[in-house]
Amino acid sequence: MTTPRLGIAFVPTHAPESLRRLATTAEDAGLDDLWVWEDCFKQSGLASAAAALAWTERVRVGIGLMPAPLRSTAITAMEVATLARMFPGRLVAGFGHGVQEWMGQAGVRVASPLTLLREHATALRSLLAGEEVTTDGRYVTLDAVRLDWPPTGPVPLWLGGSGPRTLALAGELGDGLILTNALTPEDVRGAAAVAREGGAGPGFDVHATLIAATGPDAQARVDRELPVWGAEPGRGIGAAGDAQAVAAGVLALAEAGATAVAVQPTADEPDVEAFVRFLGREVAPLLSSR
């Protein structure tokens, strides 16, 4: 097992204006990654990523996940390419189906989310490679579209989801898999296996999230947080306690196949910046020592 990348998850339970301090603190604390979310109707993943990239110089910024139904393929390619040229090597673009109820609210729900994600990801990869794309799919239609300013290097395109067909599609078309944020290590192991059976290569990445808290009431706070994300306490999801306990939670996900782990603070975390420094200064050294 290699040491996983360690990051912080900025979920939409935290106000957009708090991102700047979190991003700069993550960089100062030496974390590898900062992951932002795009949830309806809360925050824009691309806007958050652009700001975080501008405020930092080293940390990698991932977007998990941009819902394919909400975004035209052409404008998404333009936006991702622009960020990739401005901040080369520091952006991970993640795409998924979106929550179907939310897609319905927005008027963009489709009959076959899997078909849309396949068409979207395929066309995006070609556009970001600088190719001219003409396609007439069920959902994605492009006529001789080529970016004037494609990225100067490869941009990682990761796909996310939970169903077996989506996991297999991520292995087939993606550079990585982004999993939901309330899974046991066994859940992660099973999902990674399905993705690899779909055709993932040896460099395929798997991103997992660890909901965590530290302090004397850490376990109670994690237990209160899990139902918000559809999980029950007592199933081995999340980590609570000191640096050793959180590091053990990260390593358990890594042993299950995760190559990158983002730690998600609870919504009631009293000092998110202190929590980020705790991850960088106390948890990260325990990972590299294994």
CA 130 centroid distance within chain: 25
Beta pairing partners, 146: none
Sign of CA dihedral 269, 270, 273, 279: negative
pLDDT number for residue 2: 86
Sorted by sequence, the CB contacts under 8 Å of residue 23 that are 6+ apart come out as 10, 34, 51, 52, 55, 56, 59, 61
Instruction: Give the relative orientation of helices 73-86 and 113-128 as an angle to the nearest 10 degrees.
Output: 40
pTM here? Answer: 0.96
For residue 281, the number of C-alpha atoms closer than 13 Å in the C-beta half-sphere is: 9
* Residue segments in the chain with a per-residue pLDDT below the cut of 50: none
pLDDT number for residue 109: 98
For residue 195, the number of C-alpha atoms closer than 13 Å in the C-beta half-sphere is: 32
Q: Name the residue among 156, 22, 145 with its Cα closest to residue 87.
A: 156
Q: Running DSSP on this structure, what letter comes out for residue 133?
A: E
44-58 pLDDT, tens per residue? Answer: 999 999 999 999 999
172-188 pLDDT, tens per residue? Answer: 999 999 999 999 999 99
pLDDT number for residue 290: 57
Instruction: Decide: 186 and 167 in contact? Cβ < 8 Å.
Output: no
pLDDT number for residue 289: 62
Q: What is the DSSP string of 17-30?
A: GGHHHHHHHHHHTT
- Structural domains of the chain in order of their starting residue, each with its CATH number: 5-288 (3.20.20.30)
Helix (H, G, I), strand (E, B) or coil at 176: strand
Q: Residue 47: what residue type?
A: A
